[in-house]
Structure formats: structure tokens, C-alpha cells
């Protein structure tokens, strides 16, 4: 579970609801016609823009990205260095018995234990990365499209409400509901776009970049293992993928472990 996403959604919902309740009755902000216009119109337009399989697939990709915990690069480096030690000691075939923490690492070890040449291993793993990024990119486009569409339907709802209000000026009782639709649809569109759809697209982009980094580390490690480099050399080459701060933290932890 991505804790930052949960905290953001929970805290944002709390602050919005708190502001509404502090300002008066919360029920005045509930308007079913306005919700139908914004949500219904956004969903309908999304299915017009994209194929149904793409929309449903983007939801699955997003849920997987947010619900599954992603290993940090330091953990992956330690795991791959350990596999290097095993390969140096027992040979590449011994990697077949190992159980990595993720599917991509398992593929890399399988290719190594099966004796694939370096070029084929690199090509197949990089193809997997490209296809994964393509799926994530499509998911980002779906959520971005929803984020662009929601405010537009909020404006459409506003125009509908204003037309209804102007058409019934002789009936004071109908002016209030029509004005509520006019104002609340704009609010709904802004909230859904800037609080849900666009942030989800940005988070998916971030998680995609993190996954790409982790998989690039695994590809580099697989090439190094296939070439028979030493664990120490491999570890140093993989640390290049880390930021200076991450390298410093890792070195401090290693130093504390050595002292202990």
C-alpha cells in the first residue's frame, strides 16, 4: 500500500469536508444532477477517447501501482549482489533454485540459468521494460484525459443550470435548484480533476519512473552476473543508479552493521 497516496486522499477529503461543515450545512453541496453531469460526462468521454480495454487496463495498472509495495533500489542491489556470490560459487545453473522478490528478477535469473547469451538477455529484459512503460503511459493518458474533461463538464453543468434558471425566472421556487446545479457542477469538476484524476496520473508517472529504475538495476546486474564480475565490482557499478544521499545512507548502514 502506498501510504503517501492514502494520507493525501484522506487528509484532502478531511479538509474539504471540514471547510464545508464549518461553513454551514453539508447537504447543500450534494446535488445528484450535478454529479451525473460531471461524473457521467467524464466517464462517457473517456470511453469515447480510449478503447474499453485500455480504460479498464489503466485502472488495473493504477491499482497495482498504488497497492503493491515497491522495493527500494538498495534492497534490489543487495539481492542482486547476493545472487552474484551464488553464481560465482556454484555457477549460473544454481540461480534456478533461487526465489527473487519480484517477477522481473525471476525472469533475469531464469535467462541466466538457462544459458542465454548476454545480448539476448539484455534485449528481452529491455523489451519487458518498454512494454511496462507503455502500459503505464497509457494509464497516465487515461487519467490525464479524465482530469481535462471533468472541469469541462463542470462548465457544461453550469451552463445547463443557468439556462434552466433563466427559463424559469417567473417561478422563484425553481431558481434555487437551478442555481445549485450551475455552481456545484463547476465545483465537482474542479475537485475531481485536481484532487483525484490529475494527482493519480502524476503518481502513476512517478511509480513508473521508480519501476523503470529498479528494472534497469536488475538488467545491469544480470549482464554483470553473466560476465562473471565479482560481487564487489557489481555492487559498485549498481550504486551508480542511486542518488548521492541514498549512497551515503547505504554506506552508513553498512558501517553500522560492521561495527555491530
Q: Considering only CA atoms, which of 47, 210, 66, 64 is closest in space to residue 142?
A: 47
Longest CA–CA separation in the chain, Å: 90
Residues 177-233 pLDDT 10s: 777 778 889 999 999 999 999 998 998 898 889 999 999 999 999 999 999 999 999
| Predicted TM-score of the model (pTM) | 0.82
Residues 126-167 pLDDT 10s: 999 999 898 889 889 999 999 999 999 999 988 888 887 888
Q: Does the structure show a pLDDT above 80 at 1?
A: no
- State the pLDDT at residue 170: 76
Q: Does the structure show a pLDDT above 70 at 250?
A: no
Reported as half-sphere exposure (CB side, CA atoms, 13 A), residue 160 has a value of 17
Average pLDDT over residues 12-22: 89
42 φ/ψ sector (left φ>0, alpha ψ -120 to 50, else beta): alpha
Q: Does the structure show a pLDDT above 50 at 258?
A: no
pLDDT band for 260, please (50, 70, 90 cuts).
very low
Residue 82: CB atoms within 10 Å:
12
- State the pLDDT at residue 27: 80
pLDDT band for 83, please (50, 70, 90 cuts).
very high
How many Å apart are CA 162 and CA 178, to the nearest integer?
7
Amino acid at each position: 500500500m502506498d501510504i503517501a497516496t492514502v494520507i493525501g486522499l484522506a487528509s484532502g477529503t478531511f479538509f474539504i469536508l471540514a471547510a464545508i461543515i464549518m461553513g454551514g450545512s453539508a447537504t447543500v453541496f450534494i446535488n445528484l444532477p450535478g454529479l451525473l453531469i460531471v461524473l457521467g460526462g467524464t466517464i462517457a468521454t473517456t470511453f469515447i477517447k480510449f478503447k474499453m480495454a485500455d480504460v479498464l487496463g489503466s485502472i488495473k495498472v493504477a491499482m497495482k501501482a498504488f497497492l503493491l509495495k515497491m522495493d527500494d533500489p538498495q534492497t534490489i542491489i543487495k539481492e542482486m549482489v547476493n545472487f552474484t556470490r551464488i553464481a560465482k560459487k556454484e555457477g549460473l545453473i544454481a540461480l534456478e533454485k533461487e526465489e527473487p522478490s519480484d517477477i522481473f528478477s525471476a525472469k533475469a535469473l531464469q535467462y541466466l540459468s538457462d544459458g542465454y547469451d548476454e545480448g539476448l538477455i539484455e534485449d528481452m529484459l529491455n523489451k519487458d521494460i518498454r512494454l511496462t512503460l507503455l502500459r503505464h503511459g497509457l494509464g497516465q493518458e487515461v487519467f490525464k484525459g479524465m482530469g481535462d474533461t471533468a472541469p469541462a463538464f463542470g462548465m457544461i453543468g453550469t451552463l445547463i443550470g443557468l439556462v434552466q434558471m433563466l427559463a424559469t425566472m417567473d417561478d422563484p421556487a425553481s431558481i434555487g435548484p437551478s442555481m445549485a446545479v450551475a455552481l456545484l457542477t463547476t465545483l465537482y469538476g474542479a475537485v475531481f480533476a485536481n484532487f483525484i484524476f490529475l494527482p493519480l496520473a502524476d503518481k502513476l508517472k512517478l511509480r513508473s519512473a521508480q519501476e523503470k529504475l529498479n528494472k534497469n538495476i536488475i538488467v545491469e546486474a544480470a549482464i554483470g552476473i553473466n560476465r562473471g564480475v565479482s560481487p564487489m565490482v557489481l555492487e559498485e557499478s549498481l550504486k551508480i543508479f542511486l542518488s548521492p544521499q541514498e549512497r551515503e545512507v547505504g554506506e552508513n548502514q553498512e558501517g553500522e552493521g560492521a561495527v555491530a
